[in-house]
């Protein structure tokens, strides 16, 4: 009975608290979505701007399209989902895109009309 359970000498060493990585400062300048909207609005094409032409326009404006290709595609999909852009051809991020004129016109006076009041709805206050 001289054999006793060995003491937990090989216990896991105490972990040092993790330090949070310093947050990278956000770069100044317009977002990818704003650049895309500006490029599409500058286009005079009737059927919209194709993805390839859009990438060329962004590259001409100094945006690194090769490095940020996925951001461009995500921004395009998001703008189509929001209704800022209309996709005239293709699906997903491929195809042609133009500005949604209905969205632009309705977006100007959207301050008051969004929340209907009780008096306009015809309900009497209880």
Q: pLDDT tens across 45-68, in order?
A: 889 999 999 999 999 999 999 999
Domain ranges of the chain: 32-107
H or E element in which residue 72 lies:
helix 69-82
Percent of the chain scoring above 70 in pLDDT: 67
Q: What does the block give as tokens for 46?
A: 């009737």
Report the length, in residues, of the chain: 126
Q: Within 10 Å of residue 1's Cβ, how many Cβ atoms?
A: 3
Q: What does the block give as tokens for 39?
A: 């490029």
| SS3 state at 66 | coil
Contacts (Cβ under 8 Å, ≥6 apart) of 61: 35, 39
CATH of domain 32-107: 1.10.10.10
Which pLDDT band holds residue 77 (cuts at 50, 70, 90)? very high
Which pLDDT band holds residue 5 (cuts at 50, 70, 90)? low
**Do residues 69 and 54 touch, judged by C-beta distance below 8 A?**
no
Q: Is the per-residue pLDDT at 26 higher than 80?
A: no
Angle at 18 between CA 13 and CA 23, to 5 degrees: 165
Rounded to two decimals, the pTM is 0.62
Which pLDDT band holds residue 35 (cuts at 50, 70, 90)? very high
């Amino acid at each position: 009975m001289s054999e006793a359970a060995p003491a937990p000498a090989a216990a896991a060493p105490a972990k040092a608290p993790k330090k949070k990585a310093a947050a990278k400062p956000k770069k100044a300048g317009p977002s990818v979505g704003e650049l895309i909207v500006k490029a599409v609005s500058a286009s005079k094409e009737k059927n919209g701007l194709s993805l390839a032409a859009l990438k060329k326009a962004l590259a001409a404006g100094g945006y690194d399209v090769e490095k940020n290709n996925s951001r461009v595609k995500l921004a395009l999909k998001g703008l189509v989902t929001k209704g800022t852009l209309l996709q005239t051809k293709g699906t997903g991020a491929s195809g042609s895109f133009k500005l949604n004129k209905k969205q632009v016109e309705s977006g100007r006076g959207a301050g008051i009309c969004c929340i209907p009041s009780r008096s306009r709805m015809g309900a009497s206050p209880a």
